[in-house]
Structures are given as C-alpha cells and as structure tokens.
Amino acid sequence: MDLHTSPDQEQAISGLYAEHAVGLARLALLMVGDRESAEDVVQEAFLGLHRRFRHLKDPGKALVYLRSAVLNNARSVLRRRRLPSRFAGTYEPPVWSAESAALLGAERREVLAALHRLPARQRESLLLRYYAELSEEETAKVMGVSRGTVKSTTSRALDALGRLLGERS
C-alpha cells in the first residue's frame, strides 16, 4: 500500500481493476492493435489513478478518469509509432498477432481493418459508443468534448466506415 492512499482508496482501486481491467484492455487492444501495448496502456492508466486517487474531487468518477487515461495512453502509443515513419517511409498499422487473427473471423478482421483506417477521433467515438457501450454523455466526458461533438463525430465515423467496408465488397 502507498503511504498516500488509505485502505479504502486501495480497495476502491482494486475493485475498479477487478471489474473493468479486462474491458479496458480490450478497448486498448482495438485502439493499438497488439496485446502487449494494450496491457501497458491499461497498466499506466491504473498507475495514474493510484497516484491521483486522493486528489479526485469525485471518486465516483474514477472510471471516467480510467477510460480517458486509456484513450490518451493509446493515442501516445500510436503517436510514438508514427514518429519514426516520418523519417523512414509510410506508417504501417500494427500487425495483429497470429493468436488474435485466429480468434477473429474474416468479416470481423475486415471491420477492424476499416476501423483502423478512420481518423483517430472517429475511431475513438465508435469504440467508446458501440464497443464500450458508453452513452453520448459518458463518451463526451471520456473524450473531453461536447455531447454534440460526439454525435456528429460518431455519425461521420459510421458513414466513413460504411464507405470503407463498401469499397471491399
């Protein structure tokens, strides 16, 4: 236990981990494309929560903090991956592991490939709304934007995803 967190805070963080770590890791996996990076993203989010838990104005919003941290950490991972490509050629999306590929059907892989072709903000809005099943309001809080922005971004993302999937048909 950290000297700066109480036993109640430790228990709250442990409870959040037990209940949400797997779902957050799946969300991160869809964002970054590989299990190791996804696990690192989620671990960093929980470490950040642990460091800042006692400073949260509303501990009930710790899950919103975690989702935002996962999203931001995934953005950082993707940004770091792109940096070398500016000097060495075209950015290649992450390669899915053989295990992941075996688990996903061809149609699902096609959707995931199209999803990764979307701009980051559109991809995030779709993942939070439909994969994480967050409301527009919850998605807005996690993304740090207005509810109207979530609605318009999600609508544009669905249209773009439909076009991308239509190209492959």
Asked whether the beta carbons of 132 and 74 are under 8 A apart, the reply is: no
Asked whether the beta carbons of 1 and 98 are under 8 A apart, the reply is: no
Question: Of 19-23, 30-34, 83-87, 165-169, which range is least confident?
Answer: 83-87
Class of 1-98 in CATH = mainly alpha
DSSP-derived secondary structure letter, 4:
T
Q: Tens digits of per-residue pLDDT, 24-71?
A: 999 999 888 889 999 999 999 999 999 988 888 888 889 999 999 999
Q: Tens digits of per-residue pLDDT, 59-117?
A: 888 999 999 999 999 989 888 876 544 444 444 455 556 665 555 566 777 888 888 88
Asked whether the beta carbons of 64 and 31 are under 8 A apart, the reply is: no
Q: Does domain 104-169 have CATH number 1.10.10.10?
A: yes
Q: How far is CA 50 from CA 5, 60, 66, 149, 156, in A?
A: 8, 14, 10, 30, 36
Task: Write down the pLDDT at residue 52.
Answer: 87
**Domains of the chain, residue spans:** 1-98, 104-169
Nearest residue to 62 (alpha-carbon basis) of 72, 48, 41? 48
- Whether the full predicted model's pTM is greater than 0.75, yes or no, is no
Please report how many Cα atoms fall inside a 13 Å half-sphere around the Cα of residue 127, on the Cβ side.
Answer: 29
